[in-house]
Amino acid sequence: MKDSLAAGADTSAAAGRPAAPPTRRVPGDARLRAQYLEDLLGDPFAAGNPHGQQALLAADERREAPAATEELLDRFGLAAEFVPRALGGRLTGVEGLAQVLRPVFRRDVALGFGAGMTALFAASVVWTAGDERQRRDLARRLLDGGRITILHREFAHANAILRGEYTARPAPGGFTVEGRKEVVINADRADAFVAYVRTAPGDGPDSHSVFLLETDRLPAPAVHRLPRARTHGMRGAHYAGLELQRCPVPAGALIGRLGEGVSLSLRTFQVSRALVSGGALVGGMDSALRYAVRAAGESRRGLVPRGRRGRVLAGVFADLLACDALAVAGLRLLDLAPQHALIPSAAVKYAVSALLHEDLDELAAVLGARGYDRGPAYGGFQKLVRDLPVAGLGHAGTADTQAVLVPHLRTLAHAGWRGEAGHEAPSALFTPGAPSTALDFRRLDAEPRDPHSGCDGLLAALLGAAARLEGKRTRGPRWAALAALARAFAGEVHSLAERCATLFSRPDTGTLAPAAYVLVDRYCLLLAAASCLAVCENADPGAAEGDLLAGPDWALLALTRFGRRLGLEVPDLPDGTTQDLAAALADRYRRGRSFDLYGMRLA
């Protein structure tokens, strides 16, 4: 590492910033790149680290992006992570991309969006439906250091980020676009925008189209960048406004077909939802849990696995592993079978956002007064409390996923829940880090397509795992308890199908929405439980951190917590389960390992 840093030294080293390596020295494997970036960013609590918490919090207080760290990411070549390998970048699978992004999100959620992931949200539309010129030109722009961002269309459940929109009308040689949005990330410094623009009246599926607006190809007088907007969360991100006044746009700026905007949003948001969950939310919560473990360890009694704090921390640890299991399944589904990812990606975002939001409140109780500390030791927790809701778009993000999931309940109502092995989602979905194919954006589909003949493959995996766990009851009381819980959850799968059938048989559809939202909650918790059991079943006890994942404790505690949320009668945990999981958490903390499925070595 020192040799490669020295080889990449330049004038920034003389200015007191550690020099990043040239892009050509970055490892080719995503897992190794994630570790490499983690080491480059360094110990976040080391005094004098220009990429540590002291510097990041100071930039946040000034409402500025951390310039030194943005420069490091630029020279690492973070933009190349968002460009498909076929176009000269490093992007293959989104699971690998999420791994590379986690070191950034563990340190600063706003930085992860502002300096990174937003570019993929925008570029994914071009990778999905752009022509060869658009794909080639955008890849070159990103690889040359350009910035690109996204201009969303307005949603009914809008917050400031989603409010406002643009309209286009035909004009000689193309279109004339005008409109205004007040809060757009990087609007003040992007040189290209992927814009959802209204091209037809009404709210039909053909109401919007998507344009690639490159500012160097637009007349400057028609493009007005508005002042920075003040936000409560992600204060260091550059949120600003953009106004277009009778702006001529060439016909070649249209991405895909006219009126295809809604369909493209449904297709590409699958990638956005999975990466927000598997990158930003899991990465951010990893750090939030670390602050709480540190606070418990520094308390008068220390971290006592049998104490109240130990129980809370073990429960959040189980939830974090469970959320990561679901997130990784969603990411790997995009890599392996993107045409089937519409419903699972929405469920991943919905469940992970809801569960980790609850866990953040639990951790605040453990931190106590330290949760309000603004110094470098604990100030990052208060920043996460502000930043994570913005990452998930709050209520707007919830409404967006509900709009996808509620219609799927009708499919569940007619599913034949038999749990035959042929109906189960493949074990490859539940094996973090296993080989997978490169994501082909063009295979993303706007229509829900079930690969298992009407039977939801993820829920069928729960049924199959529950059946196989019956044979493990003799391994001890914890395996027996997990088998009993899995059987109860299998019963809930059948109950869910029956409740969906009852709901959709009602003639009065006016009562549909409230009841449907309750069933969406239950459906997503069942998917999380299915992912837990499947990851546990497929874990290799001989691999790094594999003993924990292949054992019953984390899945048993996670399903117990899910069962209580579902209102099931949940028996007491076998003696020592929570304490042993709290001890495993403390062990990871002492060894400097991440708290997610990968157990990555931290700087």
Over residues 396-450, the pLDDT tens digits come to: 467 888 889 998 888 888 765 544 445 889 999 999 999 888 999 999 999 876 5
Q: Which residues contact 438 (CB under 8 A, 6 or more apart)?
A: 84, 85, 91, 92, 93, 335
Asked if 65 and 55 count as a contact pair (C-beta separation under 8 A), the reply is no
Least confident of 151-155, 222-226, 370-374, 515-519: 151-155
Q: Which of 106-115, 228-237, 559-568 has the lowest mean pLDDT?
A: 228-237
| pLDDT tens digits, one per residue of 328-345 | 999 999 999 999 999 999
pLDDT at 158 > cutoff 60: no
Q: What is the structure's pLDDT at 545? A: 76
Q: What is the pLDDT of residue 5?
A: 29
pLDDT of 11 above 70: no
pLDDT at 393: 56
- What is the C-alpha separation between 447 and 338, in angstroms, rounded? 12
- Determine how many CB atoms are found less than 10 A away from the CB of residue 173: 10
pLDDT one-digit tens code per residue, 249-286 = 999 999 999 999 999 999 999 999 999 999 999 999 99
pLDDT single digits (tens) 298-323? 876 666 666 788 999 999 999 999 99
Q: Collapsing DSSP states into helix, strand and coil, what is residue 573? A: coil
What is the model's pLDDT at position 452?
47
Decide if 283 contacts 102 (C-beta within 8 A).
yes
C-alpha 356/C-alpha 349 separation (Å) is: 11
Cβ neighbour number for residue 62 with a 10 Å cutoff: 11
pLDDT, tens digit (0-9, with 9 covering 90-100), for 394-404: 444 678 888 89
Tell me how far apart the alpha carbons of residues 261 and 263 are, in angstroms, rounded to a whole number. Answer: 5
H or E segment and range at residue 194? strand 192-198
By C-alpha distance, which of 84, 104, 189 is closest to 145?
Answer: 189
DSSP string computed for 413-462? HT------GGGSPPGGGGSTT---PPP-GGG--SS---TTTTS-HHHHHH
H/E/C letters for each residue in 259-275? CCHHHHHHHHHHHHHHH
pLDDT of residue 423: 81
Q: Are strands 192-198 and 166-171 parallel, antiparallel or unpaired?
A: parallel
Q: What is the DSSP letter of 593?
A: B
* pLDDT band, very low/low/confident/very high, at 77 (cuts 50, 70, 90): very high
Whether the per-residue pLDDT at 108 is higher than 50: the answer is yes
What pLDDT was estimated at residue 420?
45
The percent of residues above 90 in pLDDT, for the chain, comes to 73
> Is 425:460 a contact under the CB 8 Å cutoff?
yes
Q: Quote the Cα angle for 445-446-449, to 5°.
A: 65
DSSP at 76: H
- Residue 9: what pLDDT? 30
The reported pLDDT for the residue numbered 572 is 92
Radius of gyration of the chain (CA): 24
Residue 509: the pLDDT is: 58
User: Torsion-angle region of residue 224: left (phi > 0), alpha (psi -120 to 50) or beta?
Assistant: beta
Binned at pLDDT 50, 70 and 90, residue 71 comes out as very high
Share the mean pLDDT of the chain: 88
What pLDDT, on the 0 to 100 scale, is given for residue 13? 32
pLDDT, residue 421, reads: 44
Here the tokens at position 196 are 């959802």
Q: Token pair for residue 594?
A: 């991440």
Number of helices and strands (H, E) in the chain?
21, 8
Q: Is the pLDDT of residue 451 over 60?
A: no
CA–CA separation, 355 and 525 (whole Å): 9
* CA–CA dist 394, 227 (Å, integer): 24
3-class DSSP assignment, residue 33: helix
**For the chain, which domains are there?**
2-146 (1.10.540.10), 149-259 (2.40.110.10), 264-591 (1.20.140.10)
Phi, psi values for residue 204, rounded to 5°: -75, 175
Write out the two tokens for 602: 């931290």
Range in 7-16, 104-113, 511-520 with the lowest mean pLDDT: 7-16
Cα gap 396→385, rounded to integer Å: 18
The answer to whether the pTM exceeds 0.85 is yes
**pLDDT value of position 471:** 95
pLDDT(27) > 90: no
Measured in residues, the chain has a length of 603
Residue that wins the pLDDT comparison between 321 and 203: 321
pLDDT > 50? residue 597? yes
pLDDT tier, 230 (very low <50, low <70, confident <90, very high otherwise)? confident
- Residue 308 makes CB contacts below 8 A (sequence gap 6+) with none
Output the DSSP codes for 512-551. Answer: HHHHHHHHHHHHHHHHHHHHHHHHHHH--TTSTTHHHHHS
Q: Terminus-to-terminus CA distance in the chain, angstroms?
A: 13
Measured between alpha carbons, how far is 21 from 3 in angstroms, rounded to an integer?
A: 10
pLDDT of residue 544: 74
